[in-house]
Structure 1
Amino acid sequence: MENSQQITLETLPKAFMQLLEEVKELKILLIQKNQEPLSTAVEWFDLVELCNYHPDKPKPATVYGWVFAGKIPVNKGGKKLRFLKSEIDDWLKQGRKMTLAESSLKVEQYLKNK
């Protein structure tokens, strides 16, 4: 059904079905666009790249301290430090603080269970 045609009661079911099909096609395209091949999804950082990627832009000495303390996920290749982007992203998300609403909900759930 073309865009220039008016929709009437007789053509409404056909127009609706066409709309559903187009929405399904768009959904498939969006899913395909958001899926990256695994080989391109793996990204590694060296120490300098990590410092530039991290939101706080820490100095290399600070990152060495995190590595020594076991606070940051790291892979070693000989003496080189390598950081997997996905692990760094997960590590950064762990520092997220709960909102007041989230903490209130957690308290309520805890009290219900006790």
Structure 2
Amino acid sequence: MSEKSITFEDLPKAMSWMMDKLNELDSKIDGLNNQNSNVPTEQWMNLKELCEYIPSHPAEQTVYGWTSCHLIPFHKRGKRIMFLKSEIDEWLHAGKIKSDKNLEGEAAQFIKSKRNTKF
């Protein structure tokens, strides 16, 4: 509705318009609340949960060895070792081995860049 003086006769129409807008805003707010509730929170795992989560299901002693060599991301408070699921997922994805085709492409790109460089 545009800004104008509302007469007594226009009051029901204006009230109806306001209720429609209020319902529209309410549904938008509910939608935003649902989006925020779907955002995953950080999930922490203890050693046993981590061993079950990793696809190869390593022994606890193996994971202790990884932590002592700092091969796996972990957090330690006192005597407890905890693992953040998002960090473990990153760690698992970082171990991807490149295919021969990818390696050949990178090598060709490297050689091409070196040929274009003048001494």
Task: Confirm or deny a common fold (TM above 0.5).
Answer: yes
Q: Which amino acid letter does the alignment assign opposite residue 56 of structure 2?
A: D
**Normalized against structure 2, the TM-score is what?**
0.63
Cα drift, residue 41 of structure 1: 3.0
Q: Which amino acid letter does the alignment assign opposite residue 85 of structure 2?
A: K
Q: Which amino acid letter does the alignment assign opposite residue 76 of structure 2?
A: K
1:4-43 correspondence runs (5 A) = 36-37=38-39, 40-43=40-43
Aligned-pair Cα RMSD in Å: 1.8
Could you tell me how far apart the structure 2 residues matched to 1:58 and 1:96 are? 18
**Normalized against structure 1, the TM-score is what?**
0.65
Structure 1 regions of 5+ residues with no counterpart? Answer: 1-31
> Which has the greater radius of gyration?
2
How many residues align? The count is 80
- Please name the residue that 2:18 is paired with: none
Alpha-carbon deviations, 1:40-65, whole Å to 9, x = none?
33111100000000011001000000
Could you tell me how far apart the structure 1 residues matched to 2:80 and 2:100 are? 42
Could you tell me how far apart the structure 2 residues matched to 1:53 and 1:77 are? 21
- Please name the residue that 2:92 is paired with: 92
> Which contiguous aligned blocks of 4+ residues in structure 1 show a shift greater than 3 angstroms?
none
